[in-house]
Amino acid sequence: MKFFDDIRIGDRRELGRHQFTAAEIKRFAVNFDPQPFHMDEEAARRSHFGALCASGWHTTAACMRLIVDFHKRLAAEMISRGERPAKIGPSPGFKNLKWLKPIYAGDTVAFASEVIETRPSVSRPQWGVVRMRTIGTNQKGERVYEIENIAFIERRAA
Amino acid sequence: MKFFDDIRIGDRRELGRHQFTAAEIKRFAVNFDPQPFHMDEEAARRSHFGALCASGWHTTAACMRLIVDFHKRLAAEMISRGERPAKIGPSPGFKNLKWLKPIYAGDTVAFASEVIETRPSVSRPQWGVVRMRTIGTNQKGERVYEIENIAFIERRAA
């Protein structure tokens, strides 16, 4: 991760894309969200969704995977340049999780994050607080997913 | 699901318990959150968590599974009494997702939901809007998880 001091409001990072295959949608649903429209094409066709679509929690998990992979790549690049990546604190949670449209089997969703607020932490001066909005957009350009999170990110030593 | 008309502020439902085993924590992490403290006991011991703990997205998914199973049991009971279960609309999303404390390998978390607001939908008169808070409590009685959601629930025909 970049250090808090190098992060600006409006900074945007493309996290990557994920294709939600029918097989993966069903596998997630069997374990965590066994509702008919996430498990069976025919049942999904008869539901309000009209076709097999991913559990909303599958979306959050797939997005998290891209975020982790992004941070690993970024850390590797920083290390290869001889820099030390900044530490990130444990996530306290999220706000305003929105499943704006269904993600159907075969859809590919591109995820991107944008910094919407930065401030030094009052209680923990070695950390900065960064608020980000992460957005998922499908292959038709439709926004399907949105979530806001707060991260604690290390500041450079004074 | 009960009909909107039969739901009251303060109604509480015990959703069930889930034990987060080390094997399950690692399996989720490999797919969706491959960070060292979710995948490896030794690496977790050296991290700020101090021991292997579940991905926050594993918590949300495990909670969803209990919610779906709860609704299925409730629907089966209603049908066995000759009642028709109420329909639930697609979830628009969640607010204020809080991972209050880590969930460590071996922890058992009890999840419960409480109704915090009910109101008729203005735009869709056949639906009511129910706001709920779902809470996860570990075996020591510590609150580890909290999330708020809004559900659209069918009203009885006038």
Q: A19 phi and psi, to 5 degrees?
A: -95, 130
* Mean pLDDT calculated for residue range B131-150: 97
- For chain B, what is the mean pLDDT? 95
Percent of chain A, pLDDT > 70? Answer: 99
| Cβ contact B109:B82 at 8 Å | no
Q: Is A8 touching B (CB cutoff 8 A)? A: no
> For B91, which of A34, A64, A99 is closest by C-beta distance?
A99
> For B34, which of A28, A68, A99 is closest by C-beta distance?
A68
Which range, of B30-39, B81-90, B134-143, averages the lowest pLDDT?
B81-90
Q: Is B128 touching A (CB cutoff 8 A)? A: no
- Give the pLDDT band of residue A1 (cuts 50, 70, 90): confident
- Chain A interface disruption, residue of B94, B103, B133, B154, most A CBs within 10 A: B94
pLDDT tens-digit readout, B75-87: 999 999 999 999 9
Shortest distance between the Cα of A10 and any Cα of chain B, in A, equals: 23
Query: For residue B124, what pLDDT is reported?
Result: 87
* Whether A61 and B102 lie within 8 Å, measured CB to CB: no
Directed axis angle between helix B56-80 and helix A56-80, to 10°? 170
* Mean pLDDT calculated for residue range A42-61: 96
Higher per-residue confidence, A62 vs B124: A62
Residue B99 with chain A: CB contacts under 8 Å: 90-93
Helix (H, G, I), strand (E, B) or coil at B58: helix
Which pair of structure tokens corresponds to residue A52?
A: 């097999």
* Mean pLDDT calculated for residue range A133-150: 97
* Whether B55 and A64 lie within 8 Å, measured CB to CB: yes
Taking the C-alpha atoms of residue B135 and residue B112, their distance in angstroms, rounded to an integer, is 5
Query: Could you tell me how many CB contacts below 8 A there are between chain A and chain B?
Result: 77
pLDDT tens-digit readout, A57-67: 999 999 999 99
- For chain A, what is the mean pLDDT? 95
* Whether A34 and B61 lie within 8 Å, measured CB to CB: no
* Mean pLDDT calculated for residue range B99-103: 96
* C-alpha count within 13 angstroms, C-beta hemisphere, residue B122: 0
Which DSSP state fits B104? Answer: B
pLDDT tens-digit readout, B8-26: 999 999 999 999 999 999 9
* Mean pLDDT calculated for residue range B65-93: 93
> For A61, which of B61, B97, B102 is closest by C-beta distance?
B61
Residue A11 pLDDT > 70: yes
pTM: 0.93
* Mean pLDDT calculated for residue range A142-157: 94
Residue A145 pLDDT > 70: yes
Q: Which of 85-104 (B) contact A at CB < 8 A?
A: 89-99, 102
Query: For residue A32, what pLDDT is reported?
Result: 97
Which pair of structure tokens corresponds to residue B9?
A: 């502020």
Evaluate the CA torsion angle B113, B139, B55, A79 in order and state its sign.
Answer: positive
pLDDT tens-digit readout, A90-119: 888 899 999 999 999 999 999 999 999 999
Residue B127 pLDDT > 90: yes
This model of the complex carries an ipTM of 0.91
Which pair of structure tokens corresponds to residue B17?
A: 């318990």
CA dihedral A63, A66, A72, A74 (to 10 degrees): -100
Q: B113 phi and psi, to 5 degrees?
A: -120, 145
Query: For residue B158, what pLDDT is reported?
Result: 59
Q: Is B150 touching A (CB cutoff 8 A)? A: no
Q: Which of 46-85 (A) contact B at CB < 8 A?
A: 48-49, 55-57, 60-62, 64-65, 68-69
Q: B98 phi and psi, to 5 degrees?
A: -125, 120
Residue A158 pLDDT > 90: no
Q: Is B23 touching A (CB cutoff 8 A)? A: no
* Whether A91 and B56 lie within 8 Å, measured CB to CB: yes
* Whether A90 and B65 lie within 8 Å, measured CB to CB: no
Which DSSP state fits A123? Answer: S
Residue B1 pLDDT > 90: no
Helix (H, G, I), strand (E, B) or coil at A136: strand
Evaluate the CA torsion angle A94, A21, B90, A43 in order and state its sign.
Answer: negative
